[in-house]
Amino acid sequence: LEEVKGCDLEPLYYEPLYPEHPQYVNRVIVADFVSMEEGTGIVHIAPAYGAEDLDLGLKCDLPVVHTVDLDGKVMPAPVLSFVAGKFFKEADNDIMDDLDRRGLLYRREIIRHTYPFCWRCATPLLYYAKPSWYIKTTARKERLIAGNEEINWYPEHIKHGRFGDWLENNVDWAFSRERYWGTPLPVWRCDSCGKDNCIGSLEELRGKPGLSAEPMVLEALQKGEADLHRPYIDTVTFDCSECEGGKMRRLPDVLDAWFDSGAMPV
Ligand SMILES: [Zn+2]
Ligand SMILES: [Zn+2]
């Protein structure tokens, strides 16, 4: 045995407990957010289940693999099929038993550690990576900062304080929400070839070939009087311009309420 620094382990590869990925994934990566205040200073990275994990995963080209579904139940594939369908916390013992049987378990004990809970109802939370729509606000960062200089702020300290800080530390805006109420995301996707089409106006939507909707919605659309919210807008389909016979259907997401706030005249 010998003592080494964490950074000396960087190029090492390890044999995973449940082989699932190409070998390049099972390696040691040095990261500055892992401390030795809690635990050993070694942490398993799961890009699908934590913001820091995902950041590091994207940087190091790790795959985002889901082993738990949105109900918190273990998925049948790719690795833990023997506990498939179990709530992930209830699978702990079976997984430890399995490791024990295979001679891979070093010690079994209960460790107290911090964990995220819902602040309203105290339900334990599970971070879960899901696709979302983004506006690349970072591409306009300099203009946003310059624009802030021209704003006459009351009170003055907000300008280079809270608002200025926020612009300086701007990250791309995840602006879609998986909700029912709200301004619908104006993106239609072809159910056959996957082509996306972002609609810029009512006029543009009305001019689409093969436009179809529930009779009342279609009539209102053609008069230019349509209610563009759900559920009406979800009945609107049109022909794909990229493939033969493909139907364009609206993606079900709505927009972040801040999108409406930002579009409000002042
Ligand atoms: Zn809650
Ligand atoms: Zn298509």
Helix spans in the chain (H): 51-59, 92-101, 141-149, 157-160, 162-168, 202-206, 215-223, 257-263
Residue 50 has pLDDT above 70, yes or no: yes
Question: Is residue 24 very low, low, confident or very high in pLDDT (cuts 50, 70, 90)?
Answer: confident
Question: Is residue 216 very low, low, confident or very high in pLDDT (cuts 50, 70, 90)?
Answer: very high
Q: What is the pLDDT of residue 263?
A: 83
Task: Report how far ligand 2's centroid is from the alpha carbon of 187 (Å).
Answer: 14
Q: Give yes or no for a contact between 38 and 53, defined as CB atoms under 8 angstroms apart.
A: no
Q: Give yes or no for a contact between 205 and 235, defined as CB atoms under 8 angstroms apart.
A: no
What is the number of the ligand closest to the CA of 116?
A: 1
ipTM of the complex: 0.80
Number of H helices and E strands in the chain, helices first, is 8, 8
What are the domain boundaries of the chain? 134-174, 184-257
Higher pLDDT, 37 or 159: 159
What is the number of the ligand closest to the CA of 120?
A: 1
Q: What is the pLDDT of residues 159-215, one digit of tens each?
A: 999 999 999 999 999 999 999 999 999 999 999 999 999 999 999 999 999 999 999
Q: What is the pLDDT of residues 71-86, one digit of tens each?
A: 999 998 767 889 999 9
Q: Give yes or no for a contact between 24 and 14, defined as CB atoms under 8 angstroms apart.
A: no
Q: What is the pLDDT of residues 238-249, one digit of tens each?
A: 999 999 999 999
Task: Report how far ligand 2's centroid is from the alpha carbon of 245 (Å).
Answer: 7
Q: What is the pLDDT of residue 78?
A: 64
What is the number of the ligand closest to the CA of 123?
A: 1
Task: Please tell me the least confidently modeled range out of 6-15, 36-45, 62-71, 82-91.
Answer: 36-45
Task: Report how far ligand 2's centroid is from the alpha carbon of 116 (Å).
Answer: 42
